[in-house]
Amino acid sequence: MTGRFLDRARAEAYRERGYLFPVPAVSSAEARDLRQETEDLLGRTRDQPHVFQYTFNVPHLVLPGVHALVRDSRILDPVESLMGPNLLLWSAGFFIKEPHTTDFVGWHQDLRYWGLDDDSREITAWIALGDVTRDNGAMRFIPESHRHGMVEHRDTWLDSNQLSRGQELAVDVDENQAVDVELKSGEMSLHHGSLYHSSPANPSASRRIGLALRFITPEMRQVVGEADYATLVRGEDGFGHFRPEPEPAFDLDPAGLLEIDAMLREMNAYYYAGAEEKAPEVGARRVRTR
In the complex, least distance from residue 253 CB atom to ligand AKG, rounded to whole angstroms? 27
Q: Looking at 210, 225, 246, 256, which residue binds ligand AKG (CB under 6 A)?
A: 210
Among 54, 113, 114, 126, which residue sits at the site for ligand AKG (rule: CB under 6 A)?
126
Query: Is residue 95 near ligand AKG by the rule CB under 6 A?
Result: yes
14 binds ligand AKG per the rule CB under 6 A: no
Least Å distance, CB 209 to ligand AKG, is 9
Q: Say how far residue 150 (Cα) sits from the centre of its chain.
A: 18
Contact 83, 246 (CB under 8 A): no
* Binding pattern for the stretch 98-117 against ligand AKG, x by CB under 6 A and - elsewhere: -------x----x-------
CA atoms within 13 A on the CB side of 106: 23
Annotate each residue in 22-61 with x if it binds ligand AKG (CB under 6 A) or - if it does not, as one string: ----------------------------------------
In angstroms, the CA 48 to CA 46 distance is 6
Positions 166 through 205 that interact with ligand AKG (CB under 6 A) = 197, 199
Q: How many CB atoms sit inside 10 A of residue 79's CB? A: 24
In angstroms, what is the minimal distance from the CB of 282 to ligand AKG?
Answer: 22
Residue among 92, 27, 40, 36 at smallest CA distance from 66: 92
How many angstroms separate the Cα of 130 from the Cα of each of 195, 208, 274, 287?
Answer: 24, 7, 37, 21
By C-beta, is 60 or 248 nearer to ligand AKG? 60
* Measured distance CA(237)–CA(26) in Å, rounded: 27
Shortest gap between Cβ of 97 and ligand AKG (angstroms)? 7
DSSP SS3 for 7: coil
Size of the site for ligand AKG (CB under 6 A): 10
Give me the least distance between CB of 104 and ligand AKG, in Å please: 8
Q: How far is CA 279 from CA 157, 212, 259, 275, 282, in A?
A: 12, 22, 19, 8, 9
- Asked if 161 touches ligand AKG (CB under 6 A), the answer is no
For residues 18 and 210, which CB has a smaller minimum distance to ligand AKG in the complex? Answer: 210
